[in-house]
């Protein structure tokens, strides 16, 4: 349309047609190809849907996992997509070989490089999973790079060598761009199917039972315990913690701590009384490791904790090293007594103002976590005679929050018996603080279970030079924190059973406040 006659790159055959008729014919041909493409897509989708239903109906297995049919349908469709796109790539490469052989050899070389890159990324070892993902993400840039190489070859061919007809060069360039895109898409689908190969095999293979996929993060984590690995990183960590490069490991062993995805090891030095406890957090617990370090790096005075010597990294995992010299973990004749003594000691600790301020900015305290949604849910599951009490407590929510907010703050932690050790001085210490929190004093205390009175629990407040908490307020906070805990665990019956006691404490507090005001 933009030239006086026919463009020179068109074949001579077209010269016998009138220019206007030729424009109309080519335009209609383009529209007809568009129509053929739409019909082909609709036909393929209908056939694909029918084939998918047939495949699903042929699976003669009980449900193995959630969304089994969806996974089977996606796997089948992506398999056909892979076959379709690789077929397109092959046909496109053959077409370019026919009209522009030199460019076809360039495209083949680039495609082989892309394929080698994909294979090297796909079959990375499990402990190189991050490198694998970064390589697979780089695949998205390769179609553009391949097109750029092909375009540069065509330009250099026209400048220095004997190129083919311009029309053939343009067609080859368009086909090249599409073929590279199809190749990369097929590799992306292959990777997605490979990630679910265990589920797909369990669905489609006749004698393949369901098997959990290997956790790629577990292999390097537990591999730290292998002698050949610990012989390398263990002296490094101990040297960093002790401040000496000349340390000799006498013995080390794994200890049972009741902690999941955390390696705990006791290390003794050769010809020395020094002993260390090493905690290594799996990557999924990185936030808990940082939370523990936040408290222990600037440890509040009198905190019943084993001294933290170092917070470092071991092969990408957070590692905390504690000094457990002259301590004993295995002599718990009365574990409940140890836990009670630990709670008493912890209650004497006043959180530093800077730590309390940082915590308040990051996480909500107990009064802020109490909301109408909690009571609405309890009302749904309550029996008829309990609904009135739930509504009554909900109507006093603002008062309840205000009372709790008057209480002093304390550090809360509930270690298991395996996480407590005893020093030579008889102090009960903890080496696990990943779940610590700052809450109004009384949170987490179970007064009924411990058998302690408010007077006994108020002794720590006196030791801080503060006015002791009222027994009633301490009991109120203890009950409310237990209610919240039961609610979070969906133990609604246990939560409902606490509401009468909470209402009684609120009434007593109201009477006490009125009496104080009148006096």
Minimum mean pLDDT range among 214-223, 287-296, 315-324: 214-223
Q: What is the pLDDT of residue 9?
A: 65
The string of pLDDT tens digits covering residues 201-249 is 777 776 655 555 555 444 588 888 888 888 889 988 998 888 777 778 8
**Residue 316 is encoded by which pair of tokens?**
């990408």
pLDDT in tens, 116-141: 888 877 765 444 555 656 666 777 77
Section 172-179 average pLDDT? 88
Please state the rounded mean pLDDT for residues 367-377: 91
Distance between CA 506 and CA 339 in Å, rounded?
Answer: 29
6 pLDDT more than 80: no
Backbone angles phi, psi at 66, to 5 degrees: -65, 145
Listed in sequence order, the residues at least 6 apart from 466 whose beta carbon sits closer than 8 Å to its beta carbon are 408
Task: Reduce the secondary structure of 132-164 to three states and give it as a string.
Answer: HHHHHHHHHHHHHHHHHHHHHHHHHHHHHCCCC
Reduce the DSSP state of residue 311 to 3 states and report it: strand
- Spatial separation of the C-alpha atoms in residues 444 and 430, rounded to whole Å: 17
CA distance 334 to 353: 35
pLDDT for the residue numbered 116: 85
Residue with the larger pLDDT of the pair 164 and 251: 251
**Using 50, 70 and 90 to split pLDDT, how confident is the model at 440?**
very high
Closest by CA to 402, choosing from 471, 480, 340, 464, is 480
Instruction: Give the separation between CA 458 and CA 472, rounded to whole angstroms.
Output: 11
Average pLDDT over residues 305-327: 91
Nearest in space to 190 (alpha carbons), one of 91, 86, 92, 48 = 86
Q: Does position 64 have pLDDT exceeding 70, yes or no?
A: no
Per DSSP, the residues of 363-395 read S--HHHH--HHHHHHHHHHS-HHHHHHHHHHHH
Specify the higher pLDDT residue, 277 or 194: 277
Q: How far apart are CA 375 and CA 460, in angstroms?
A: 33
The percentage of residues in the chain with a pLDDT greater than 90, rounded to a whole number, is: 31
Going by C-beta distance under 8 Å and a sequence separation of 6 or more, which residues neighbour residue 511?
A: none
Question: In terms of pLDDT, which residue wins out, 57 or 276?
Answer: 276
CA 253, 259, 261 angle in degrees (round to 5)?
85
Under 8 Å between Cβ of 381 and 359: no
Beta strands in 345-436 (DSSP E): 409-412, 420-423, 428-430
- Give the pLDDT band (50/70/90) at residue 41: confident
- Paired residues of 437 in beta bridges: 412
Region 316-339: mean pLDDT is 82
What is the pLDDT, as a whole number, of residue 164?
79
Rounded CA separation 323/308 (Å):
7
- Are the C-beta atoms of residues 153 and 107 closer than 8 Å to each other? no
Inter-axis angle of helices 397-405 and 471-488, to 10 degrees? 120
Please state, in angstroms and rounded to a whole number, the distance separating the CA atoms of residues 320 and 293.
Answer: 8
pTM of the model: 0.62
From residue 511, alpha-carbon distances to 382, 392, 507, 517 in Å are 28, 17, 6, 10
pLDDT band at 458 (very low <50, low <70, confident <90, very high): low
Task: Please give the pLDDT value at position 244.
Answer: 77
- Identify the residue with better confidence: 496 or 8: 496
User: Cβ neighbours of residue 263 under 8 Å, at least 6 residues apart?
Assistant: 221, 222, 224, 225, 254, 278, 279, 280
**Is the pLDDT assigned to residue 289 strictly greater than 60?**
yes
The pLDDT of residue 81:
87
DSSP bridge pairs for 276: 267, 323
pLDDT digits over 479-492, tens only? 999 999 999 999 99
CA 175 to chain CA centroid, nearest Å: 41
Q: What percent of the chain has pLDDT over 70?
A: 84
Residue pair 292/320 in contact (Cβ under 8 Å)? The answer is yes
pLDDT recorded at residue 448? 46
Mean pLDDT of 82-93: 91
Position 451 pLDDT exceeds 50: no
pLDDT at site 513? 53
Residue 302: per-residue pLDDT: 87
User: Each residue of 457-493: b (16+ CB within 10 Å) or e?
Assistant: bbebbeeeeeebbbbbbbbbbbbbbbbbebbeeeeee
Whole-angstrom distance, CA of residue 459 vs CA of residue 455:
7
Closest C-alpha to 140, from 181, 175, 177, 82: 181
User: Per-residue pLDDT for 268 more than 80?
Assistant: yes
Q: What is the mean pLDDT of residues 16-29?
A: 85
Q: Is the pLDDT of residue 449 over 50?
A: no
pLDDT of residue 374: 92
Question: Of 266, 293, 261, nearest to 278 (Cα)?
Answer: 266
Determine the distance from the C-alpha atom of residue 19 to the mean position of all C-alpha atoms in its chain, rounded to a whole number. Answer: 64
Residue 251 per-residue DSSP state: E
The Cα 256–Cα 482 span in angstroms is 28
Q: Span 342-346, mean pLDDT?
A: 87
Asked whether 249 and 270 are in contact (CB, 8 A), the reply is yes
The mean pLDDT of the chain is 82
Residue 381: pLDDT band with limits 50, 70, 90: very high
Q: What is the edge-to-edge ordering of all strands in the sheet holding 249-254?
A: 249-254, 262-269, 275-281, 317-323, 308-314
């Amino acid at each position: 349309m933009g030239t006086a006659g026919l463009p020179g790159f068109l074949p001579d055959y077209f010269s016998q047609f009138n220019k206007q008729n030729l424009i109309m014919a080519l335009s209609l041909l383009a529209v007809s190809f568009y129509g053929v493409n739409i019909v082909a897509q609709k036909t393929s989708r209908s056939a694909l849907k029918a084939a998918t239903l047939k495949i699903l109906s042929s699976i003669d297995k009980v449900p193995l996992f959630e969304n089994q049919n969806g996974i089977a349908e996606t796997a089948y469709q992506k398999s056909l997509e892979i076959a379709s796109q690789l077929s397109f790539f092959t046909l496109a490469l053959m077409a370019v070989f026919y009209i522009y052989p030199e460019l076809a050899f360039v495209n083949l070389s680039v495609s082989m490089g892309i394929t080698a890159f994909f294979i090297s990324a796909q079959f990375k070892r499990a402990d190189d999973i991050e490198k694998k993902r970064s390589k697979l993400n780089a695949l998205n840039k390769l179609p553009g790079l391949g097109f750029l190489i092909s375009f540069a070859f065509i330009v250099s061919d026209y400048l220095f060598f004997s190129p083919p007809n311009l029309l053939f060069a343009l067609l080859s360039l368009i086909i090249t761009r599409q073929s590279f895109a199809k190749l990369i898409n097929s590799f992306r689908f292959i990777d997605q199917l490979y990630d679910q190969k265990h589920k797909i095999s369990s669905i489609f293979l006749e004698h393949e039972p369901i098997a959990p996929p290997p956790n790629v993060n577990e292999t390097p984590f537990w591999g730290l315990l292998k002698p050949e690995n610990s012989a390398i990183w263990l002296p490094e960590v101990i040297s960093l913690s002790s401040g000496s490069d000349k340390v000799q490991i006498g013995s080390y062993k794994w200890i049972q701590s009741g902690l999941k995805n955390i390696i705990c090891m006791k290390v003794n030095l050769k010809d020395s009384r020094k002993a260390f406890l090493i905690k290594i957090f799996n990557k999924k617990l990185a936030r808990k490791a940082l939370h523990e370090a936040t408290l222990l790096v600037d440890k509040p005075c009198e905190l019943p904790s084993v001294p933290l010597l170092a917070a470092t990294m071991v092969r990408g995992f957070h590692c905390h090293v504690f000094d457990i010299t002259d301590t004993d973990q295995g002599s718990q004749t009365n574990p409940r007594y140890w836990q009670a003594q630990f709670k008493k000691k912890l209650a004497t600790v006043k959180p530093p103002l800077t730590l309390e301020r940082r915590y308040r900015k990051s996480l909500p305290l107990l009064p802020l976590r109490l909301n109408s949604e909690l009571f609405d849910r309890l009302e749904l599951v309550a029996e008829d005679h309990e609904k009135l009490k739930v509504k009554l407590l909900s109507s006093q929510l603002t008062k309840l929050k205000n009372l709790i907010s008057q209480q002093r703050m304390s550090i809360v932690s509930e270690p298991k018996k395996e996480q407590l050790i005893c020093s030579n001085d008889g102090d009960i210490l903890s080496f696990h603080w990943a779940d610590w929190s700052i809450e109004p004093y009384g949170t987490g205390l179970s007064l009924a279970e411990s058998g302690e009175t408010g007077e006994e629990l108020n002794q720590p407040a006196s030791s801080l030079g503060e006015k002791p908490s009222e027994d009633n307020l301490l009991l109120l906070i203890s009950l409310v924190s237990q209610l919240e805990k039961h609610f979070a665990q969906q133990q609604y019956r246990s939560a409902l059973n606490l509401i009468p006691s909470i209402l009684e404490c609120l009434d007593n507090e109201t009477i006490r406040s009125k009496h104080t005001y009148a006096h």
